[in-house]
Amino acid sequence: MCASFQCDRCWFVNLYKREPSENLVDTMIMPYIRRVNLDILWSKESSTVYGNYLATVKKRNISLDFNLPVQCEPRGPWPVADRQGFQTAVEMLRQSRLAGKNDKTYQQFDSIRKFRSAGTNEYESGLAAAYDLMLIGDGGRVFRLTSLPTQSRLFAKFMRGCEKRMGRLVKQNKALDVRILHKMLYAYELELSSKKTSAARKRFVKMASAYFVISFVGALRGGEGLMLEATSLVSYNEEGRLDETPYVLAPLLGRFKGETGERNVLLPFAAVTKSGIQVRVIIDRIVSIAIKEGRATGALSPALCHEGGTSISRTELNNEFISALERIQDEHHYLIAKNIDVAGTYNIYRSLRRGATSRATVVGLGTPDIEKNNRWRKFQNRSGTMPRLRMHDLYTDIKLSLKSYLLFSSAL
């Protein structure tokens, strides 16, 4: 009485338009149909269902006392069709049985729920959605009535029940200790000073160390550091060099998640952090590479790139990150314990950002200052819209409150 229910056989008929047989495919799919039904039933807590049952019985008895017909909504028959997204539910459960990233025996709910998004996009780009013309307006917002199967109440109950059953296995990226970063940078310095290191390797080391440092001192997420732009980096490289509080400017250019259009971002970092990270020295190296390779002027290009100008991928940098950490694990157990799975624990997507935030908290930086740095996109909003300013205009704005921008990176 609390869930849209059809028996397993009826759903089989709805999906295949025939009766089930003893063949292999029919035998394989029936447990999945049963599992969908059970997830739908378990979308509500047992106590809620039992309370609903008691209320239904009392309601029925009162109707009988007054000789009134007992009200009961029809339970069927259902149309011989799948208008509820049942097939997508079966597909999600089948996908969940495959090996995942965090567990080799199954895929998590957060992975399989993407099937719903895929089905939604497929439907909304197709012919059926073109005829969903019923719209409701409310204060500038528009709501569209849709016949999308995966928006049905049955499918919503399945999603709720499936999520409750599977739960979530969350593996957060471990924060990078600033001491580990210093060990990484020291190892890179040894490589750069060694005659045995090839020119190609030295170039990549300079790029990788710049990425790790920028991402750490700026508390950037995985791909944001790769938005560092070469021509602007070169043009602003001398700014702040002789300032009372020396700093370096990192110009980012690109489209950030959740935003429309491309825009410029100019982030000031302390030239040397409190723990001794030489941001200026590391940035100067990639500036020299950009000038040498002819990317100091002209068309916009990535600063962190291969010799041909193509951007270094996140996968390449993450592989380098993991390799560096595994070497530190072998040599310095007090920093990374032997029993830690480095590849499964650390990742450039969040480790550098979380490490910087943790470090800032430890050294006593206040929450407003941490929030200001970690939400730099929000602080560059103008009345809810993204400014389309030139780098020069951005720098003019930043100089007015430069010290407040440098509080975060200088404390690291």
Instruction: Give the start-to-end residue ranges of the domains of the chain.
Output: 8-166, 178-411
Give pLDDT tens digits for 62-97: 999 999 999 888 888 889 999 999 999 999 999 999
- Helix, strand or coil, per DSSP, at residue 143: strand
CA angle 45, 48, 54 (to 5 degrees): 140
pLDDT value, residue 262 = 47
- Higher per-residue confidence, 404 vs 187: 187
Give pLDDT tens digits for 130-144: 877 777 877 777 777
pLDDT value, residue 391 = 61
Assign domain 178-411 to a CATH class. Answer: mainly alpha
What is the Cα–Cα distance from 287 to 295, expressed in whole angstroms? 9
Give pLDDT tens digits for 348-372: 988 999 999 999 888 888 777 777 6
Give pLDDT tens digits for 4-50: 899 999 999 999 999 999 999 999 999 999 999 999 999 999 999 99
What is the Cα–Cα distance from 11 to 82, expressed in whole angstroms? 8
Check pLDDT > 60 for residue 260: no
pLDDT value, residue 352 = 93
Check pLDDT > 90 for residue 398: no
Asked whether 214 and 226 are in contact (CB, 8 A), the reply is no
What is the Cα–Cα distance from 13 to 98, expressed in whole angstroms? 26
What is the Cα–Cα distance from 271 to 157, expressed in whole angstroms? 54
Give pLDDT tens digits for 161-212: 999 999 876 677 899 999 999 999 999 999 999 999 999 999 999 999 999 9
